[in-house]
Structure 1
Amino acid sequence: MKIALIVPMPEEAEFYYQHFHNRKEEMFGCTKFEHFSVNENEIYLGLSGIGKVNAAMNLTSLLAKVDIDLIIMTGSAGSLKPEIKKKDVIVVDSFAYHDAHNTVAGDYVEGQIPREPARFNLQSKERKQFISFLKAKKVAYKEGLVVTGDSFIASEAAKAEIEANFPEAVGVEMEGASFAQVAYHFKKPLIALRAISDNGDEDANESFEEFVKEAGQKAADLIISYLKQ
């Protein structure tokens, strides 16, 4: 299997280098990917960069050149629900853009890009297999809609606006919907794993800096264990 494993930041990628060896650097577009072989799987590990354009550009650069079988996206997110706490793991079941407001442009809903799906649904047999793995390992996780935008959410006002438009959303971050949109058009399954690093409020920046490595480590440990089984 050819698997794209993409994280936004170097702090999150460094955990994988401790487990994957004999890597070969390859450039796709302007993005460097590390190419590994793990249990007869070919792993392409790359940084998406931060934000929607970087995420879409860099994933597209890879998919245009390599016939990837599965995309795995990891990283961190802010919580939008009081029951979703720091260090919780979310296995995303759908994405939308919280900064896409196109309801006056036609028969669209909040979070929908015109002529694109209302929600990017991630249900697939690959995702079901990953869920089964988590259950077998007795790993606690949450599921739900996560919303994406180009702003780091760090105020109660910004958080309240998102919650009003997406009352069902459990988390907020900056890349996921772009990954999902690209995966949708390339017809590739996507497993999206987000570890909660902050609450999306005024303490978000301090919390993010404190927890991003811990959140990245938690996600990496799960993915590495899954790939090695």
Structure 2
Amino acid sequence: MNKRRLFLVFTFSLFYSFAFAQRYKTKPITGLLGAFGAEVALVKESLRKPKTVIVDGVSFTCGRIGNQRVVVAETGIGKVNAAMTTTLMLDHFRPSRVLFTGIAGGTNPDLQPGDIVIAGRTAHHDYGSITSKNTPTRQTRNAITKEFNPVYFPADSSLMHLAEKVVRTVSLEGIPLASGGVSDRPVKVVTGTVVTGDVFVASVDKVKSLRTDFGADATEMEGAAVAQVCYQIQVPHLIIRSLSDRADAEAHIAYDKFYPTAARNSAKLVIALVKAL
């Protein structure tokens, strides 16, 4: 292939990617995000006519779930990665709403691995100041308005109530019990508080602290970053987390055991929610 032909192919590819992204800017679309490849892959498998668009090196897959146009992306682990990918999605695709699916560590003693937390609100648990008076400031500040954000970012009420309704119609996988591995414990779904920090929590003491200080039902590493970006840009959002462990000393062992089931259940709920929009 000569240089001229290579140039034409390259130019056409750039134009096609730009035109495709522009097309999705002008029509209603729902943004779907997940931290891990496995979670995102489960959602991508449900897409009809998927098309990939690369934005600043980040891969976004556009397609349809039911009658809804969607754009799907993997954020990567941690708050900075989550905020960056969310911002790129909002800027290039202008989604009318953003849903985040993924796993988390449980901090509510009534919940077990495999259970689901629909985040009615999210908060950063590792943001604040350390002073001699021990009076930390937990509120982030909006860089645009210079005003303080709320400690807890509220989910969009319409999306939250729809998720609470839809989950009753979804066939979720039962949780394997310790004895014999029989999947006969039903999945519990609650609407509660999810807290976010750039740490993998595997500590009983930290779990107690998160429960006491924030009323946390689950802890993870991306949700509040996504919520903050959406809150500041005024885009409706909802975070849905399926528990892979209890964030205690056995978290790494439980994670390996329950992650596949937790990821599948979370993805099932998000896909059903999109179809119900």
Counterpart among 33, 52, 58 of residue 25 in structure 1: 52
Q: Is the 8 A contact 2:211 2:217 kept in 1?
A: no
Q: Secondary structure at the match of 2:271?
A: helix
The corresponding residue for 1:225 is: 272
The residue identity in structure 1 corresponding to 2:209 is E
Whole-Å separation in 2 of the counterparts to 1:82 and 1:179: 26
The corresponding residue for 1:90 is: 117
Whole-Å separation in 1 of the counterparts to 2:36 and 2:260: 10
The residue identity in structure 2 corresponding to 1:159 is V
Residue pairs, 1:57-96, within 5 angstroms: 57-96=84-123
Task: Please report how far the alpha carbon of residue 128 of structure 1 lies from its aligned counterpart in structure 2 after TM superposition.
Answer: 2.0
The residue identity in structure 1 corresponding to 2:82 is A
Q: Is the 8 A contact 2:34 2:101 kept in 1?
A: yes
Per the normalisation by structure 1, the TM-score is 0.90
Are 1:148 and 2:196 matched, yes or no? yes
Point out the structure with max Rg over C-alpha.
Answer: 2
Are 1:131 and 2:164 matched, yes or no? yes
The residue identity in structure 1 corresponding to 2:260 is K
Identity %: 27
Counterpart among 42, 56, 79 of residue 83 in structure 2: 56
The residue identity in structure 1 corresponding to 2:252 is N
Measured against aligned partners, the alpha-carbon deviations of 1:79-113 in whole angstroms (never above 9, x if no partner) come to 111101111111000111111123859xx866422
Q: Gaps (5+ residues) in structure 2?
A: 1-27, 142-147, 173-187
Q: Secondary structure at the match of 1:36?
A: strand
Structure 1 segments of 4 or more deviating over 3 A?
102-105, 108-111, 135-140
Task: Please report how far the alpha carbon of residue 136 of structure 1 lies from its aligned counterpart in structure 2 after TM superposition.
Answer: 5.2
The corresponding residue for 1:209 is: 256
Whole-Å separation in 2 of the counterparts to 1:165 and 1:146: 12
Task: Please report how far the alpha carbon of residue 137 of structure 1 lies from its aligned counterpart in structure 2 after TM superposition.
Answer: 5.2
The corresponding residue for 1:180 is: 227
- CA spacing shift, 1:201–1:129, aligned 2, 3 Å: same
The corresponding residue for 1:163 is: 211
Q: Is the 8 A contact 2:44 2:72 kept in 1?
A: no
The corresponding residue for 1:118 is: 151
Matched positions, count: 226
Q: Secondary structure at the match of 1:61?
A: helix
Measured against aligned partners, the alpha-carbon deviations of 1:124-164 in whole angstroms (never above 9, x if no partner) come to 22322222222455975101111100000012233233334
Task: Please report how far the alpha carbon of residue 51 of structure 1 lies from its aligned counterpart in structure 2 after TM superposition.
Answer: 0.4
Whole-Å separation in 2 of the counterparts to 1:10 and 1:138: 23
Whole-Å separation in 2 of the counterparts to 1:195 and 1:66: 27
- CA spacing shift, 1:194–1:110, aligned 2, 3 Å: farther
- CA spacing shift, 1:116–1:228, aligned 2, 3 Å: closer
Are 1:43 and 2:43 matched, yes or no? no
Q: Gaps (5+ residues) in structure 1?
A: none
Q: Is the 8 A contact 1:30 1:58 kept in 2?
A: no
